[in-house]
Amino acid sequence: MKSVDFLIVGGSAAGTTAAEVIRQLKPQASITIITDENHEEYSRVLIPHYIRGKVSREQVFLKKPEWYEEKGIELIKGIKVIKLDSGGHGVDLSNGEQIGYKKLLIAIGGDVNRLNIAGSDLANILYLRTIKDADSVIEAAKKSKKGLVLGGGFVSLDFATGFRVNGVEKVVILTRDPYFWSGHLDPESGRLMKNLLLKNGVEIMTGEEADSFFGQEKVEGAVTKSGKKLEADIVGVGIGIKPDLEWLEKAGIKTNRAILTNEYLETNMADVYAAGDCAEFHDVFFERQHIMGNWANATSQGAAVGKTMIHSASSGQVGQRTVYETISSYSDTFFDNSYSFIGVTDEKFADEIIVRGSVENQKMARIFIKKMNGISRIVGATVINDPAEVSPITAAIKNKIDILKFKNRLSDPAFDLKEMLA
């Protein structure tokens, strides 16, 4: 059985960044990346921009084959890992081969949740996770007129904007929630999102789910659980992702919503680590287990876990066992609007939420506050169409500022948030 010093399962942001850090600090180590995709690393965060025509397909790719050759990193493409023997330090591959390892990083990201209802196998019912998915969305949208999007989150927004930019005349978003981004926004913020989308030819139908699809070979529409019939010749499904955990659980890896790790991204098994969307890590900043599903986080976790893996492998002589500590932040645009999610925006986590702005002004922010260790801290925020708010809010979270004396002024849009930092 072939064996390597560092085996990385997953060739996207977390896995590739970890490999790069390991190579910088351990020039002679053997490193292998296994990916189930047939491509070198590309940017998932650029996929929505590719669909909208903002970047070319070539610009989405971050690495060429020559990069792996120059770094001395083996890339095995189009192969899945199907079994882990953590005691024997080895994995079984879908092509029948086996590879041994000294250190193993699981950075498999997540797979899209797929529908299993009548008609869900019809053509033009699309998902969005890979570059291949993006190609399919662009090709189908250019030939379609009526779009339907299922889900009320980030991917649904990517579908809606992508459909419209590529010529779909009418788009309807179907969400079972009472408003878009429910659980992160409030009804007023949800109303602002509804208005902004409607201005751009996208309608939101709340409290509804698809019960079935109809059509011959290609989708022609959907029937909701309440009995409404909606015509559509293209459907985008954005109902979340989940990592493939079964083969890891069989090996004894502890999981919850994802792979459980400590603050060093170490699993319960010796020499096995996890990073990126598949890691539910101990967040020392907010004192809880946490999943951060975005590209920036995956890159940062890859860098941190790479150092930790080297430190363990060399008895501390190289690298450093590194606590992963960061503030999640994700920003993007839709049509001519912007949004940002900063820190923890889970309503159940916060003690209090303060709202700035209004629907009428088309700018709103929700500031999430929690008392931690005797201090009233900002722990997160959602910001719509007010990007200048992002920097001071992020700084207040990072510096764990006690905002008690400012709290009564936060709802006033005239209050300059930079005053919190003085």
Structural domain spans, the chain: 2-110+243-313, 113-237, 330-421
Which pLDDT does position 1 carry in this prediction? 86
Which pLDDT does position 108 carry in this prediction? 98
Which pLDDT does position 294 carry in this prediction? 87
Which pLDDT does position 320 carry in this prediction? 80
What are the tens digits of pLDDT across the range 364-410?
999 999 999 999 999 999 999 999 999 999 999 999 999 999 999 99
Q: Which CATH architecture has domain 113-237?
A: 3-Layer(bba) Sandwich (3.50)
pLDDT under 50: residue ranges of the chain: 316
Which pLDDT does position 183 carry in this prediction? 87
Q: Are strands 210-215 and 272-274 parallel, antiparallel or unpaired?
A: unpaired
Which pLDDT does position 313 carry in this prediction? 57
Residues in the chain, total? 422
Which pLDDT does position 24 carry in this prediction? 96
- CA–CA gap between residue 28 and residue 22 (Å, rounded): 10
One of 3.30.390.30, 3.30.565.10, 3.30.1300.10, 3.30.1360.70 is the CATH number of 330-421, namely: 3.30.390.30
Give the fold, CATH level 3, of 2-110+243-313.
FAD/NAD(P)-binding domain (3.50.50)
The two domains 2-110+243-313 and 113-237 share their CATH topology (first three levels equal): yes
